[in-house]
Structure 1
């Protein structure tokens, strides 16, 4: 078989089987593009069904730059040509696989396969974070990728330099079974068009289950791999509910992620004559808004806003739920009724936080839960080899060890190991278990993370193994140790990749020397769900510290702050040095940065930033962090273990003591009360206040919240009671920290 005829045979097989095939054109770049043109013509693809993904220009087909490959998510193409010579990245592969329709081809242009692992391009430069260079980046991911291309069914390989077929990729697949259009059930409540618009029986069953959302107190969870039509089912349900006059609030990581939901809702409402109007603001915050004749709505809000249930929606629909953090998902459980739509294995949401952790919270909620699983693909036949290749090559289906293998693990049974990239590349089982746990540690894991794990020179992985199975992992990133030129660039606002902690301390906190010490930042840490709360995470951090303490200046971490996480890191020796002043756009949380120094240089770095944090935190809390959860503020300040400055004048102490024990007024000298509050909250040996009293210090004294709002938030019977409680809370503070003047003032009212 010659390469020219191969494209025609592949196309014929894909059309007969309603599957896709992957065609690799390996060799010279220009020869690869010439061959790709021949493939399009020989296979008979129409020009408007072809997309070329490359940074090059000058094609008669649609061209998309690799950086914008995500624009093809949710679209359908007959043929996608991906140029892997220049701006290739694993994310581009993950995004584009799902864009090819049944009967189509994914064409991959590569260097000669034997040479590709050692080739260097833009993605390698991305992995070479300072102070490393591209020469330090390895090619393990591409070597693994080449192995899958040469072994997996449905993958054809052509050497364009020699004009030879290395593999034909033909599988002799049987003809596809014709699809039948679902009909509306006889007792269906949603419009018949909602069912007739479904493309599979699975999708129709999902729409049927979503009828439960017409009543309050329900939750429907729709889980599927990519390309099963879950977002379309969400849109059909949203349109049906709005047609009845219900207010449907839709949220997703971004408004673009919800585009399919609104497209299908719009089509349905137009089809049944129920659409009254629409608005599309075109940004992730406000997004589209559909209005119906019956007064219903389908409207979008970004996740943090949606968690507040703005304007009291009747129904909340959460698309791509796996791409959102569990702490945010939990807030959605206050909705009257809710639908959650999540990708199990796929680019949009590889995070397992939804399926492993959030499902427990959902089961404990007051909502009656119905589960729906979609297995039948929409755009191609079940068993499509290109889909299974993507799962294998990108580890989209990586999972931790099954529970019975690790359930007996404890700190005495585990082995601490350095899982080197060579170890991982040589052992698929070990790689899948380790990467599966890393997926659990974050609400969004991308294919690029796999390549970074195998090839990035700044990363290292440590793990605890029980009987050879991974039970806990910590992914560490080397940061700091930058030269004067880079530090100056960072100080002046330039971004230096891969050095998150030094970057923030330098550019935001104006410490040009912060990037001199070398440290390891804990990028992710995860413990198998079957053995949580056994102390394994803390044990792993302890072993990491023992190993690296003599070689680096600090260990650090940055994460979306919650009281629980702040306490976990504090218990493990990490101290707060910063709270971000903007919320993460997806999680809605403020980030905490913490350090655990391991050398004198590290201690000096941590000490000066702890001091600076405690000096500025009262001003920040009264301004940019006025809406910070008081429990986060309490835990963050407590985790400094610092010595907040307390420089009150005699008059200050008279006011504070007088307001605590006598008729004095807080409003006379608020700064003195703020200084004393920070000192108290940061002092681990200070006077013990109740959690409610500490929240009162944060909300009123540090965040300057109006008295009436503080009283309501903390459940005081009246504003007067709230005011008196603040005075009482300061009594032990006066006793512990007060000067002779303060104690004398106290004596006037107690003796």
Structure 2
């Protein structure tokens, strides 16, 4: 393979000279591709110890990582990575591996013949083929896109291993770059000079300087950057600096893996300063202690949001991947920093801006904004990064604000956007995917492939002057055969059928998988056009448009605002998860909008079952759900819960409301009356505070001390008097006439 060896040597030499990466595509038969990868790595002068092979590793002698475990390579850098795409072309793996190659390194893709690749089916296609679809129903549009961009972009060499022919040498012949200016420690710095010495770019040093603002209270810092700019590392240098000064630093992120760079840099700085003093056996723990009594510790977002042990400084890494409700909790900290990825699948910086910036601006913190643009591991303008951003749409955004800022729902046109239309129109695809990115706290490259190739996925949108203003991603679910339904009921999991899976496996309704439904996976409206009715108009159009469907549904992290939105649009709550999402800290709600008799029967029985069980759950697994979420969920239940109180029980309720009887004598009837009111009663009968009182005390069974404190009553006696007063209008509204004489006995 002399031609390949020469091309690989030239490619590697140019990569090293420019501190950029280069991509080498080895297309053809798999074994030949692996042999070619060995030859190319050797010709490039890269030692085997500096190479990771992702895939089966057949035919190579490199360290091998399964394609399903590429997350283990995140946060590392390699001189070269060989990614085998024959068994599966997994977009997430591709995105991760691009970011793990160091400047001067090579990313090597071992792929089928380029002209055939899109038409082959692999393990990832099996993943996209959710029941009842089969792999034959999956398309190859995503791989068509990958092949097209590989052929179009600079810095990408293509070698046909079957014909042993070089189709593109990938050389760019760039002009020389001037050396960057040296990094200096700023005058009057509060942080150790060693922290600045550890910075690799001017951007890092500037960001570190901004983080010094957290030395005093009522300051906040926001660091935004693309992937690979070292924002987590600079957060770690700041964390270590505070810890060696004796301060307590709380670090949180969607997962500890996401925060590893923070702890690695903090550990290195403390070691350099000879201040590390972890107890024996704590080296692998998620806490770092210093000789000055400071520490850096990690907590998952839901726990960190409570600000345990009142930390001095809070650092929120990958903040765009967390819900606003959780982010708001951190504003209670005196000093807080948020780092967020602008582009990439860790989270969308635009979503962070849209959802959280106004809360941050309204807080008591003086906000210091930092943007980091200079890459750490490779030079700016790196062609492999440019290709990855284009191919995987890591930088997708909606239309610029002025194009949609004056749009109204009445002038919008409703369209079903086919996958063929999206893949053929880059502008339309970028606007569509950009809105979906902003709508969800974690959008991955896999989602792009799902959008283009999955047989159960479809897209509906509202457009104004050709620009996407509102978009919905839909998933067809249900319609499962008896054998599949039986397997799920008996414990098997089923991909891509979220609502039927919950109803069959958790709620023990085997027949729930038979009706056909469409789940609204995501719905997003452009930030410049929100709160004008676009989302409601889009849902109404979808309801009129879908055919052969028994129900529309959705599932999401429950908040009062979202619950009201979906309920206004005809969706009824049928289930609330019994555990919080580990990242968002929210309970998930499932809602249905029935379209046919079969859908109505499904909805009716689950709404009824939910209303019947939720009171018991509130005393147990749902005891810590926010009262306003409970109120909104129950208001969204379309059912008439039975209120079968005996005459004696009614006398107890009436006596507690109007006379000397005690709630504690038998809380059961009070709970059933509260459920009836919150599910099917007139919302105007009680004030929101009174309804929260019913939720906290009667349904969730919190102590009267907890209730008084949480709802701001002056004391426990006042809280219990308020409870009795709240039941008076309920007695008047719901009590049968033959027990109202009990009320009249007390002169009320």
Does the 8 Å contact 1:697/1:726 carry over to 2?
A: yes
Distance in 2 of aligned mates of 1:465 and 1:645: 46
Aligned to 2:211: 210
Distance in 2 of aligned mates of 1:624 and 1:219: 36
Aligned to 1:461: 459
Report the number of matched residues: 747
Shift of 1:58: 6.6
Aligned to 2:275: 274
Are 1:583 and 2:584 an aligned pair? Answer: no
Distance in 2 of aligned mates of 1:215 and 1:82: 47
Distance in 2 of aligned mates of 1:527 and 1:535: 9
Distance in 2 of aligned mates of 1:328 and 1:718: 29
Aligned to 1:646: 643
Question: Deviations for 1:11-35, whole angstroms, at most 9, x for unmatched residues?
Answer: 1101111111010000000000000
- Flag as ranges the 4+ runs of structure 1 deviating above 6 A: 279-283
Paired residue secondary structure (1:552): coil
Paired residue secondary structure (2:411): coil
Q: Select 2:625's aligned residue among 628, 635, 638.
A: 628
Aligned to 2:607: 610
Aligned to 2:247: 246
Shift of 1:329: 1.5
Distance in 2 of aligned mates of 1:60 and 1:31: 14
Aligned to 2:150: 149
Shift of 1:87: 2.7
Distance in 2 of aligned mates of 1:412 and 1:47: 62
Listed as ranges, the matches of 1:99-498 within 5 Å are 99-179=100-180, 181-277=182-278, 288-350=286-348, 352-498=350-496
* CA spacing shift, 1:450–1:280, aligned 2, 3 Å: farther
Paired residue secondary structure (1:593): strand
Shift of 1:279: 7.9
Question: Deviations for 1:44-91, whole angstroms, at most 9, x for unmatched residues?
Answer: 101110000013457421111111111111111001000000032000
Alignment TM-score, normalising by the size of structure 1: 0.98
Distance in 1 of aligned mates of 2:223 and 2:5: 43
Shift of 1:143: 0.3
Does the 8 Å contact 1:238/1:248 carry over to 2?
A: yes
Does the 8 Å contact 1:176/1:381 carry over to 2?
A: no
Q: Select 1:679's aligned residue among 671, 676, 688.
A: 676
Shift of 1:728: 0.9
Does the 8 Å contact 2:221/2:338 carry over to 1?
A: yes
Distance in 1 of aligned mates of 2:280 and 2:696: 38
Does the 8 Å contact 2:320/2:441 carry over to 1?
A: yes
Distance in 1 of aligned mates of 2:126 and 2:533: 38
Question: Deviations for 1:425-475, whole angstroms, at most 9, x for unmatched residues?
Answer: 110000000000000110000000000000000011000000000000011
Runs of at least 5 residues in structure 1 that lack an aligned partner in the other structure: none
Distance in 2 of aligned mates of 1:361 and 1:168: 51
Aligned to 2:697: 700
* CA spacing shift, 1:649–1:417, aligned 2, 3 Å: same
Are 1:733 and 2:698 an aligned pair? Answer: no
Question: Deviations for 1:475-531, whole angstroms, at most 9, x for unmatched residues?
Answer: 110000000111111111110100000100111111010111111000000000001
Paired residue secondary structure (1:118): coil
Aligned to 1:521: 519
Does the 8 Å contact 1:351/1:445 carry over to 2?
A: no
Distance in 1 of aligned mates of 2:167 and 2:609: 63
Distance in 1 of aligned mates of 2:150 and 2:311: 49
Aligned to 1:655: 652
Distance in 2 of aligned mates of 1:271 and 1:646: 69
Runs of at least 5 residues in structure 2 that lack an aligned partner in the other structure: none
Aligned to 1:543: 541
Distance in 2 of aligned mates of 1:696 and 1:157: 68
Shift of 1:178: 3.4
Are 1:564 and 2:564 an aligned pair? Answer: no
Question: Deviations for 1:188-245, whole angstroms, at most 9, x for unmatched residues?
Answer: 1100000001111111111111100011101111111111111110010000011111
Does the 8 Å contact 1:181/1:198 carry over to 2?
A: no
Does the 8 Å contact 1:95/1:347 carry over to 2?
A: no
Aligned to 2:739: 742
Paired residue secondary structure (2:578): coil
Question: Deviations for 1:240-280, whole angstroms, at most 9, x for unmatched residues?
Answer: 01111111000011111111111110111111122221588
Aligned to 1:13: 14
